[in-house]
Amino acid sequence: MLTQDILCKQFGISETVINYVLKQEAKIKSEYFEDIEKIREYNQYKVIDAMQQHRLDYTNFYWNTGYGYDDVGREKVEKIFASVFHTEDALVRPSIASGTHALYLTLSGILKYGDEVIAISGKPYDTLLTVLGEEGNEPNNLKECGIIYKEVQLKDGDIDCESAIKAVTEKTKLLMIQRSTGYSFRSALTLNKIKNAIEKIKEVYPNILIMVDNCYGEFIDTIEPSDVGADVVVGSLIKNPGGGLALSGGYIAGKSILIERIANRLTAPGVGKEIGLTYGTTRNTLQGLFFAPHIVSEAVKGALLFGAVFSSLGYEITPSLNEQRSDIIQAIKFNNPDMVVKMCEAIQSSSPVDAHVAPLPWDMPGYSDQVVMASGAFVSGSSIELSADAPIRPPYIVYIQGGLFYDHAKLGVMLSLQKLLNFDDIENKIK
């Protein structure tokens, strides 16, 4: 067959590997794909509806110069995001350089000197620790700005509401929840869990603010954290909501009074949201949002295939196949640094861009351990495109995410298996 031919001859994948992957694929297809497609369909309609409601029109893609007053495209983008997230307002800018920047902006915009923030989903994502001043001593970290930080660990993979409520003091202004796995080996928090926690906490402390780090979670479900009581949700446009087309940027969606404070931090008090050029990015941002429900569904299917193949070989995976997913990540525990690096090499070699280069562990800014990252992406650093990364530390877990198209993820699975044949007797296991 033509497909088998190109896989064998052009990509060097053996027939045994192809057949093994196809066998695993058959199982996940019949069990999980239909549910994923239902969510995709609903979200697609939600996005189109938001665009129509705000009368998106062709002239919104034009752009101007200077201060960016009356940048109609920018205003439309922010209104459309607010509609999709069902929030009063949103800040969506190409000048928000990353997810970390969006989270820092949110925290520093809302919190004042002496305020306390509590992470109630355990240790946050690596770069956030630097932002909070828990790691390193970077100028202008939140600790230096007088923000007090505390952490409440998860209990049995869920938010420990009792401990969270106990941890609140007079100074506590905001609780932060990280939806996604990050560099841990826990499952992403489902919207049910997030809803339950917010309800319980707000019952006791109705005025406390809840921020959700929504990175990697957008469009996995039919609702978002802002639909279950989060005051502000934050994410990156080079992950899920950018649909692979956004060139850069981040979003913050939430209550108007919060967005106003955050916008004043982004630009300046008095001008806030009213200025800020978008440099012609409106079309990519919105077409990316239009693509996002579909792209996310492709990424989830890809994650399932990675999970199916490597769990069938005896490796521990998070989330497990039958678990409800709440992000696009598939974590695989190899307990072996060489396998983690090999896996990243395989993902890199399956890419449309930079396939000929080999990823090496390096000291990435903001991270405390060396990190190896595979990303042969059209948009640099985009992790809604097929990518894999792993901090070089035991128990050597590789985090795989993205894949604009399921076929690409499938190629990544096959190449990974091919390159790992010599480890742990995999070659014989798949015969």
Ligand X SMILES: *Cc1c(COP(=O)(O)O)cnc(C)c1O
Contact residues for ligand X, defined by CB under 6 A: 98-100, 125, 127, 178, 180, 182, 213, 215-216, 236
CA distance 183 to 399: 8
Sheet holding 172-178, edge to edge: 89-93, 250-254, 232-236, 209-213, 172-178, 116-119, 148-151
Give the residue with the Cβ less far from ligand X, 12 or 136: 136
> Residue 324 CB, nearest distance to ligand X (Å)?
18
Q: Are strands 371-375 and 172-178 parallel, antiparallel or unpaired?
A: unpaired
**Which residue minimizes CB distance to ligand X?**
99
CA distances from 202 to 110, 172, 229, 246 (A): 18, 13, 9, 35
CA distance 346 to 412: 7
Give the residue with the Cβ less far from ligand X, 236 or 350: 236
Give the residue with the Cβ less far from ligand X, 100 or 349: 100
> Residue 178 CB, nearest distance to ligand X (Å)?
5
> Residue 328 CB, nearest distance to ligand X (Å)?
10
CA distances from 168 to 21, 103, 161 (A): 49, 21, 11
Sheet holding 387-391, edge to edge: 316-318, 330-333, 397-401, 387-391, 371-375
Q: How far apart are the first and last CA of the chain?
A: 21
Q: In this structure, are residues 27 and 308 in contact, taking their beta carbons and an 8 Å threshold?
A: yes
Give the pair of three-digit tokens for residue 95.
């000048």
> Residue 238 CB, nearest distance to ligand X (Å)?
7
At residue 301, φ and ψ (nearest 5 deg) are -60, -40
> Residue 180 CB, nearest distance to ligand X (Å)?
4
CA distance 176 to 132: 12
At residue 90, φ and ψ (nearest 5 deg) are -155, 155
Give the residue with the Cβ less far from ligand X, 13 or 131: 131
> Residue 422 CB, nearest distance to ligand X (Å)?
32
Give the residue with the Cβ less far from ligand X, 169 or 380: 380
> Residue 248 CB, nearest distance to ligand X (Å)?
10
List beta partners, residue 172.
Answer: 116
Give the residue with the Cβ less far from ligand X, 17 or 212: 212
Give the residue with the Cβ less far from ligand X, 297 or 375: 375
Sequence-distant (≥ 6) Cβ neighbours of residue 73 within 8 angstroms: 60, 61, 62, 63, 278, 282, 283
| Torsional sign, CA 409, 223, 206, 81 | positive
> Residue 215 CB, nearest distance to ligand X (Å)?
3
Give the residue with the Cβ less far from ligand X, 103 or 148: 103
> Residue 191 CB, nearest distance to ligand X (Å)?
15
Give the pair of three-digit tokens for residue 367.
């991270």
Give the residue with the Cβ less far from ligand X, 60 or 181: 181
